Amino acid sequence: MNKERKLIIAGNWKMNKTVAEALTLVNALKLEVANVREVDIVVCPPFTALAEVSKAVQNSNIRLGAQNMSEHNYGAYTGEICAGMLKEFYAKYVILGHSERRQYQKEPDALIAKKAAVAHASAIKPIVCVGETLAEREGGHMEKVLETQVRGSLAGLTAEQMVETVVAYEPVWAIGTGKTATTQQAQDAHAFIRKQLAKMFDETVARKVRIQYGGSVKAANARELMGQPDVDGALVGGAALEVRSFADIIKNSI
């Protein structure tokens, strides 16, 4: 495990949890992970629960993240949420370019890069997601897809901004399927992404950027995954919706 980079484990709740359910989950999680200092812990509830979860995590070791935001600031963009609104709830992180948004909302790399720049302008750290589909992997295109997404989705960021950006490698074929990349597959992909960052910026920047793995992370495989030299945490989906499983992932990562 690279001591230069602190592990970051984020729970992406997706379109789950009412406000009451969100509070039940986060209040129980606070107790479970109260003594964890070795990991940056982030929860990303739906927009409707941000205000209450924000209050609940104050004075705790849990940070608040959002699942998306607009590339625009305030204005006539019906249904959108801007960075200033997230700041009001003391959001520290925002997930951008998740494969579900790339797939269902057709979000291109250039849009994700715009959002990342806007997030940094408001001192919110973006968690920028990249990853290949099963067809792309089996067709031998994984590296090309990752290179295109990394370069496109992070275009225009300064070296200082890049260091404060988290990259999440999520093989699309492993999200919510129960399939998990082998530790070697995860390490190889993370190392490749870091190599792209070194080309875009330099070795020093690349060495400082945290790269999370996402895709059916469980307590049982957390320690082995986090033990890989280029895996710096996890972006957890389904397992983050239950206190015990999420807390065990966090504890097993240390």
98 is catalytic: yes
Residue 75 to residue 174: CA distance in whole angstroms: 37
**Mapped to the 3 state alphabet, what secondary structure does 150-169 carry?**
HHHHCCCCCHHHHHCCEEEE
Q: Which residues of 41-67 are buried (b: 16+ CB within 10 A; e: fewer)?
A: bbbbbbeebbebbbebbeeeebbbbbb
Active site residue 170: yes
Residue from 71, 98, 120, 132 carrying the catalytic annotation: 98
Length of the chain: 254
Point out the catalytic residue in the list 71, 107, 132, 170.
170
Q: How far apart are CA 217 and CA 175, in angstroms?
A: 9
Place of tokens 């870091």: 194
Residues annotated as part of the active site: 98, 170
